[in-house]
C-alpha cells in the first residue's frame, strides 16, 4: 500500500507553530514512506477563510521546504459534497432538525441540571411531516445531523494506542448548516475518501471527531477508514495552550522577526514530544532515520522559543558556506567569502548576526580613542603578520606586560579603538579578519569612508 497523507489547514489565521507541526510531521511521514503529500485547504467556513491566510500557509510551507505533491481546496468541491449529501439523505443517514441555537442551549442546560450529559436527544427524528411544514412556514430552515449507528467505535491510534468511544456518549453531529452549506466533518471525510488518504495525522483536539468520522467513512462508502495518529497539543513555555492568536509564534514571525532557519524549526518540531532527543539537522535524510510517528508520547510538549533559538545556533554552526552564500549576497554581503564564514560561524545564533561581524571587520568604523598614549603604545606592540586567532592573545599579553593594565582597562580601550563600540563580536576572531592595515589605521584614529 502506498502512503497518501494530507495536511489540511483552515485558512482562518496565520500558520503558527501548533499547526505547522502537523505539517512537518505529516510531510516527514510521507517522505519516510515514499508517499504522496496533499495540501488541502479546509475553507468551508467562507466567512473566516481569507486568501491572505491561504497565501501565508503556502509561503510558510514553501519557506520550510515542505513541498506538496498536490493541492486541493474544499471550496472547489461543492458539487461533489452535494452529491454525497443527496445520497446520505436518501439512505436516511442525514436528518433534518429545526431547533434554534437557543432551544438547543436550553436543552443542554436542562440535561446538565438533571446530571445528564448534554447529548442531543434526537427529538427531530420524531417530527411529523406536518410539524416540519409548520416550522418551514415560520421561516425556519433545517440543519442536518448525521445519524450515528449505536455501538462502540474503536481504532488503534498510532500515537495513543487503542481508543474506544461509545455512541451513547456522543451527539449526532451536525453536518449541514441552516444555509445548506456542508461542515468540515463531511467535507473532510469525503476528501479523505476521494484522495485515498491512508493515514490522518492531526492534533488530539480531533480525537472525538475521529470517532464520528469512522462511521461516516463507512456510510459514504469506504469500509476501512485511514489509520489515525493524534498528536498532543503543544503548550507554550508556561504550560498554556498555544493558539493561533499567539502571533509571536507564527511561522511568519519565526522567519521574519526571530530570523530562524527552516531546518532548525523542522528539527525541533519533528522530534518535540517524541522519545528521541532533539538534535540539529541541516538535511532531511538523517532526520528521517530518527523520525518515527509512533515515538511521540501522549504528554503535551512545551514549545520553548529559547530552546528553538539555541537549536538554531547549532544548525547554523553546521551550515557550509555553500548553503548560505546566496542569502549572504541578498543581505548585501556578496564579497563575504568562505574563510570569513568559517571563522565567524561558531559565534552566530542567527544568520543576521553576521552583519555585526562584517561591519566591524570591514567598516566603516569610527574609532573611539580616549587615551591616545595607551593606544599608541599598543599599536607599537602589534605582532607581525600573518595573523591568526591567537594573535589577539599574543598582542594583549604584550600590551599587558608593557603597560601593567589588565581586565577591562586593557581590553575596553582596544575594543573602542578597533570597533568604535563598547561591546560586540569577539576580537580574537575579528583581529585577523580586520587585518593589519585596517587595525593600524583604526589605532591611529583614522575614520573609514562609508
Element spanning 203, H or E: strand 199-203
Per CB under 6 A, the segment of 2-10, 75-83, 141-149, 382-390 that binds ligand GLU is: 2-10
CA pair distance 360, 371, nearest whole angstrom: 21
**Of residues 39-68, which lie at the interface with ligand GLU (CB under 6 A)?**
42
Is 275 exposed, middle or buried, given 0-12, 13-18 or 19+ CB atoms closer than 10 A?
A: exposed
Alpha helices in 73-230 (DSSP H): 78-90, 101-113, 129-137, 184-194, 207-220
Report the nearest approach of ligand GLU to the CB of residue 59 (Å): 17
Check binding of 10 to ligand GLU (CB under 6 A). Answer: yes
Tell me the DSSP string of 61-111.
Answer: HHHHT---SEEEEGGGGHHHHHHHHHHHHHTT-EEEE---HHHHHHHHHHH
Alpha-carbon 2 to chain mean position:
26
Report the nearest approach of ligand GLU to the CB of residue 427 (Å): 50
Report the nearest approach of ligand GLU to the CB of residue 231 (Å): 11
Q: Helix %, strand %, coil % for the chain, to 5? A: 50, 15, 35
Is the distance from CB of 88 to CB of 173 less than 8 angstroms?
no
Q: Which is nearer to ligand GLU, 69 or 426 (CB)?
A: 69
Check binding of 210 to ligand GLU (CB under 6 A). Answer: no
Contact with ligand GLU (CB under 6 A): which of 4, 5, 9, 287? 9
Q: What angle do CA 96, 99, 104 make, to 5 degrees?
A: 125
Report the nearest approach of ligand GLU to the CB of residue 10 (Å): 4
Is 9 exposed, middle or buried, given 0-12, 13-18 or 19+ CB atoms closer than 10 A?
A: buried
Q: Which is nearer to ligand GLU, 135 or 184 (CB)?
A: 184
For residue 8, report the phi and psi dihedrals to the nearest 5 degrees. -125, 70
Report the nearest approach of ligand GLU to the CB of residue 193 (Å): 13
Per CB under 6 A, the segment of 4-12, 85-93, 131-139, 398-406 that binds ligand GLU is: 4-12
Give me 413's grid cell. 580601550
x/- contact string, 162-201, with ligand GLU (CB under 6 A)? --------------------------x-------------
Contact with ligand GLU (CB under 6 A): which of 202, 345, 405, 416? 202
Q: Which is nearer to ligand GLU, 77 or 202 (CB)?
A: 202
Report the nearest approach of ligand GLU to the CB of residue 341 (Å): 40
Q: Which is nearer to ligand GLU, 77 or 206 (CB)?
A: 206
Check binding of 206 to ligand GLU (CB under 6 A). Answer: yes
Q: Which is nearer to ligand GLU, 191 or 236 (CB)?
A: 191
Per CB under 6 A, the segment of 5-13, 51-59, 313-321, 399-407 that binds ligand GLU is: 5-13
Contact with ligand GLU (CB under 6 A): which of 5, 8, 293, 344? 8
Is 373 exposed, middle or buried, given 0-12, 13-18 or 19+ CB atoms closer than 10 A?
A: exposed
Residues forming contacts to ligand GLU in the complex (CB under 6 A) are: 8-10, 42, 188, 202, 206
Amino acid at each position: 500500500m502506498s502512503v497518501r497523507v494530507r495536511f489540511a489547514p483552515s485558512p482562518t489565521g496565520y500558520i503558527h507553530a501548533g499547526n505547522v507541526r502537523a505539517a512537518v510531521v505529516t510531510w516527514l511521514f510521507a517522505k519516510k514512506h515514499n508517499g504522496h503529500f496533499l495540501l488541502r485547504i479546509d475553507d468551508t467556513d467562507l466567512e473566516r477563510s481569507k486568501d491572505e491566510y491561504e497565501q501565508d500557509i503556502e509561503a510558510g510551507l514553501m519557506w520550510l521546504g515542505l513541498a506538496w505533491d498536490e493541492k486541493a481546496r474544499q471550496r472547489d468541491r461543492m458539487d461533489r459534497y452535494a452529491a454525497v449529501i443527496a445520497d446520505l439523505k436518501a439512505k436516511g443517514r442525514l436528518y433534518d432538525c429545526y431547533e434554534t441555537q437557543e432551544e438547543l442551549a436550553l436543552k443542554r442546560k436542562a440535561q446538565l441540571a438533571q446530571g445528564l450529559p448534554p447529548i442531543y436527544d434526537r427529538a427531530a427524528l420524531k417530527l411529523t411531516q406536518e410539524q416540519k411544514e409548520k416550522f418551514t412556514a415560520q421561516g425556519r430552515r433545517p440543519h442536518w445531523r448525521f445519524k450515528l449507528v449505536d455501538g462502540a467505535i474503536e481504532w488503534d491510534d498510532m500515537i495513543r494506542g487503542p481508543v474506544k468511544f461509545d455512541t451513547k456518549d456522543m451527539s449526532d453531529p451536525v453536518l449541514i448548516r441552516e444555509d445548506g452549506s456542508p461542515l468540515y466533518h463531511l467535507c473532510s471525510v469525503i476528501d479523505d475518501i476521494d484522495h485515498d488518504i491512508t493515514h490522518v495525522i492531526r492534533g488530539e483536539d480531533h480525537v472525538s471527531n475521529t470517532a464520528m468520522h469512522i462511521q461516516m467513512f463507512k456510510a459514504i462508502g469506504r469500509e476501512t477508514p485511514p489509520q489515525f495518529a493524534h498528536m498532543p497539543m503543544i503548550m507554550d513555555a508556561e504550560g498554556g495552550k498555544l493558539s493561533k492568536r499567539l502571533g509571536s509564534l507564527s511561522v511568519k514571525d519565526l522567519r521574519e522577526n526571530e530570523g530562524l532557519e527552516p531546518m532548525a524549526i523542522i528539527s525541533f518540531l519533528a522530534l518535540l514530544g517524541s522519545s528521541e532527543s532533539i538534535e540539529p539537522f541541516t538535511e532531511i535524510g538523517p532526520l528521517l532515520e530518527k523520525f518515527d510517528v509512533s515515538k511521540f508520547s501522549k504528554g503535551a510538549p512545551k514549545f520553548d522559543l529559547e530552546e528553538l533559538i539555541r537549536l538554531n545556533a547549532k544548525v547554523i554552526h553546521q551550515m557550509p558556506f555553500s548553503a548560505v552564500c546566496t542569502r549572504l549576497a541578498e543581505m548585501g554581503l556578496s564579497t563575504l567569502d568562505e574563510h570569513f564564514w568559517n571563522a565567524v560561524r561558531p559565534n552566530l545564533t542567527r544568520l543576521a548576526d553576521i552583519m555585526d561581524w562584517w561591519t566591524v571587520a570591514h567598516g566603516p568604523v569610527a574609532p573611539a580613542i580616549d587615551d591616545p598614549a595607551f593606544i599608541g603604545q599598543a599599536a607599537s606592540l602589534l605582532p607581525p603578520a600573518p595573523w591568526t586567532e591567537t594573535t589577539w592573545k599574543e598582542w594583549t599579553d604584550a600590551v599587558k606586560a608593557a603597560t601593567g593594565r589588565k581586565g577591562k582597562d586593557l581590553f575596553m580601550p582596544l575594543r573602542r579603538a578597533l570597533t568604535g563600540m563598547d561591546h560586540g563580536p569577539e576580537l580574537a576572531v575579528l583581529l585577523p579578519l580586520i587585518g593589519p592595515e585596517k587595525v593600524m589605521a583604526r589605532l591611529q584614529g583614522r575614520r573609514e569612508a562609508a
